[in-house]
Amino acid sequence: MALDLLYFAWVREAVGTGQERVELPEGVTTISALVDWLAARGGGYAEAFAQPDRIRAAIDERFVPLDATIGSAREVALFPPVTGG
């Protein structure tokens, strides 16, 4: 399944791009599995996703927990926790 990934803030900086389209391997069905798969790509991905508890996600512009199922999503955004001031 093809999926658009969006990266923000220090996640984008570590990965080296703000957006990419990927083909999800079989078995990657949750955000948590996606984060693990991305980390296994090495380099900046490993750096960005070394601590999954520091990652927040949105599926098709809706915030979701890391155990959320990707399903038929068009896009997944991955970013650090957002704070306001």
- Domain with residue 8: its CATH number is 3.10.20.30
Report, as an integer, the average pLDDT of 63-75.
97
Average per-residue pLDDT for the chain: 95
Q: Is residue 85 part of a domain?
A: no
Print the domain residue range for 60. Answer: 2-79
pTM: 0.94
Looking at residue 68, what is its pLDDT?
A: 98
Give yes or no for a contact between 62 and 27, defined as CB atoms under 8 angstroms apart: no
Cα–Cα distance for residue pair 33/15, rounded to 1 Å: 17
Question: How many domains does the chain divide into?
Answer: 1
- Categorize the per-residue pLDDT at 83 as very low, low, confident or very high, splitting at 50, 70 and 90: low
Report, as an integer, the average pLDDT of 7-30.
97
Q: Is residue 84 part of a domain?
A: no
What is the DSSP code string of 23-63?
EPPTT--BHHHHHHHHHTT-HHHHHHTS-GGG-EEEETTEE
Q: Residue 23: is its pLDDT beyond 90?
A: yes
